[in-house]
Copies of this chain bind each other. A is one copy, B any other.
């Protein structure tokens, strides 16, 4: 708040001749609003204040440039256009260094960078590929010791024939992602971009054939998330294979033996909204939760909301075992429609959901909002996902900005970052800071968001306390590192 107060004082001092009373009333009014905001209750120590001043100067410079010139404000344009600009900024570098706590809304097959996927799996022997036509062509991959058919070609052959093998790999990377130079042209509607988005999973699926491939993929995911300042992950997965789920614990244990300050991974099983019922998967989840209470933490409903079944249509299956207290984390309100599929938000509240996935439409529902605030139902915000999947263009219009203003329980997550070539979490934190956050929202917001990700996790109180300690230690190291690296006085 210090930066903001100095700035307001300067303003007041330039306007003279009026009795103080108006300015005092105005400041009191603004202060009351500021006190409501996410992060307002955080108090920064001297070191943090140093970092904050530095960070807020950078933020202010970026904003001033956008206000006074015709330089686009990075969060105001597509991530596909702003990314190079963001990656070069000092703000992003600091956010990247920052321990951001946990990611609570992530899908297991969109975690690891496509860059690593292509450079690892397509260099294995016997990888064949072909392109399937469609609105958006899909590149298929398969492993085969024999030639799988005349329309398939060895990736290694294609690469050998390419003029520039590096450029060839690049092209495979961009092609697998939903990246587009001109997303408005490429994806006129949400349904269009979801088509392309589904192709990503098809393409990747061809390369993740065996459990060994998945182990490599998942361990790399942990590494990339950890290096991006993520210490804890709650993964949404549609698999209920006990073997598949349990191996995650081994991967994580192995990872923790190398990185002691990594907190851990929990899994949330997700039914598909396209299914006719959720009976079996709900029962299976309950069974698994009883068996692995520290690993399996609840149930979600996945897939594109607009065109699939509503939560209420599964009410029978979801409410029957309510007494068993299966925690719910339904995707709800990931839509631009109001009073349609967004009624899923009402069901989340009435079915006592622990958190709301996305909750993009939540601010159109005053009673849902009231419940979110009263019952501390955390909203899992995924700003870049919502932008690239066509819900909003300028991220300052993201409804999370409203939730920040009223001090709602929110966490920032990244949904499927690999599929749009985003960092595990840093780009979304950048957007939270620069777009969902107001001009004067500062390090207290970022700190609160990191803390929230632990507070609103599915960890037990004991685990949470340990996690907070691990995060706090890294936070202090981060503050010291920024002071050192940028020689802050």
Which residues of A are at the interface with B, using a C-beta cutoff of 8 A?
A: 4, 11, 14-18, 22-23, 25-26, 29-30, 32-33, 36, 63, 66-73, 76-77, 135, 184, 188-189, 191-192, 306-307, 312-313, 315-316, 319, 336-340, 343, 346-347, 349-350, 363-368, 391-394, 396-397, 401-402, 405-406, 438-441
Separation in Å of the A356 CB from the closest CB of chain B?
15
A73–B347 Cα distance when bound, in Å, is: 26
Separation in Å of the A288 CB from the closest CB of chain B?
25
Separation in Å of the A451 CB from the closest CB of chain B?
22
A73–B77 Cα distance when bound, in Å, is: 21
A33–B392 Cα distance when bound, in Å, is: 24
Q: Which residues of B contact A25 (CB under 8 A)?
A: 350
B29/A349 in contact, CB under 8 A: yes
B337/A439 in contact, CB under 8 A: yes
| Cβ 8 A contact of A15, one of B29, B192, B312, B391 | B312
A18–B440 Cα distance when bound, in Å, is: 49
Contact A440/B339 with A316-B18, A346-B30 known, Cβ cut-off 8 Å: yes
A77–B336 Cα distance when bound, in Å, is: 13
Q: Which residues of B contact A350 (CB under 8 A)?
A: 22, 25-26, 29
Whose C-beta in chain B lies nearest to the C-beta of A16?
A: B316
Q: Which residues of B contact A184 (CB under 8 A)?
A: 184
Given contacts A22-B319, A67-B340, 13 further A-B contacts (CB under 8 A): A15-B316, A18-B316, A22-B350, A33-B365, A67-B306, A67-B307, A68-B307, A77-B188, A336-B397, A338-B401, A364-B401, A392-B397, A402-B402
Q: Which residues of B contact A17 (CB under 8 A)?
A: 316
A151–B315 Cα distance when bound, in Å, is: 74
B68/A339 in contact, CB under 8 A: no
| Cβ 8 A contact of A70, one of B188, B316, B367 | B188
Separation in Å of the A248 CB from the closest CB of chain B?
34
A337/B67 in contact, CB under 8 A: yes
Q: Which residues of B contact A4 (CB under 8 A)?
A: 339
B192/A70 in contact, CB under 8 A: yes
A364–B70 Cα distance when bound, in Å, is: 25
**30 examples of A-B residue contacts, CB within 8 angstroms:** A4-B339, A14-B313, A15-B313, A15-B316, A16-B316, A18-B316, A22-B315, A26-B347, A26-B350, A29-B346, A29-B350, A29-B367, A33-B366, A36-B366, A67-B307, A67-B337, A67-B340, A70-B189, A70-B191, A77-B188, A338-B439, A339-B439, A339-B440, A363-B402, A364-B402, A365-B405, A366-B405, A391-B397, A392-B393, A397-B397
Separation in Å of the A1 CB from the closest CB of chain B?
11
Q: Which residues of B contact A70 (CB under 8 A)?
A: 135, 188-189, 191-192
Q: Which residues of B contact A188 (CB under 8 A)?
A: 70, 72, 77
Q: Which residues of B contact A405 (CB under 8 A)?
A: 338, 363-366
A347–B438 Cα distance when bound, in Å, is: 18
Separation in Å of the A161 CB from the closest CB of chain B?
35
Whose C-beta in chain B lies nearest to the C-beta of A397?
A: B397
Q: Which residues of B contact A438 (CB under 8 A)?
A: 338-339, 364
A29–B77 Cα distance when bound, in Å, is: 37
B367/A32 in contact, CB under 8 A: yes
